[in-house]
């Protein structure tokens, strides 16, 4: 899967929370979000430096929020975990556990989420 294919899949499945997303799809999406954020912060600094409005970055956040949640849940399904594990981020320390899980390879066998 290439970078643009992964972005296309994530945008097409932005409200689909079932199924799986492999490691490449997840990390390409996160790279896309990072690049969009960097560009939007720069555009905010150029065009809205006096107002402190940050309207471009706010638009990018709302544009990528739901697809990011869905690809994270589908990635958890890919390693045979429930999507509810995403709520562990609310503890703060749970982000390290999620990072470890997101770095794991896909389950080779069929799991209950396929």
Q: Which two tokens stand for residue 83?
A: 């999507």
pTM of the model: 0.87
Question: pLDDT band at residue 98, thresholds of 50, 70 and 90?
Answer: very high
Give the three-state DSSP class for 113.
coil
Q: What is the pLDDT of residue 111?
A: 77
pLDDT tens digits for range 44-83: 888 877 777 778 888 999 999 999 999 999 999 999 899 9
Is pLDDT above 90 for 1? no
pLDDT tens digits for range 7-22: 999 999 989 898 889 9
């Amino acid at each position: 899967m290439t970078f643009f294919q992964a972005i296309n899949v994530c945008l097409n499945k932005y409200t689909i929370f079932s199924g799986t997303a492999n490691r490449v799809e997840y990390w390409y999406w996160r790279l896309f979000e990072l690049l969009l954020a960097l560009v939007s912060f720069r555009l905010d600094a150029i065009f809205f430096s006096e107002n402190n409005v940050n309207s471009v970055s706010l638009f990018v956040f709302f544009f990528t929020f739901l697809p990011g949640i869905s690809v994270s849940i589908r990635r958890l399904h890919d390693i045979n975990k429930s999507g509810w594990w995403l709520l562990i981020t609310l503890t703060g320390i749970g982000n390290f556990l999620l990072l470890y899980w997101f770095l794991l390879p896909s389950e080779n066998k069929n799991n209950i989420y396929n």
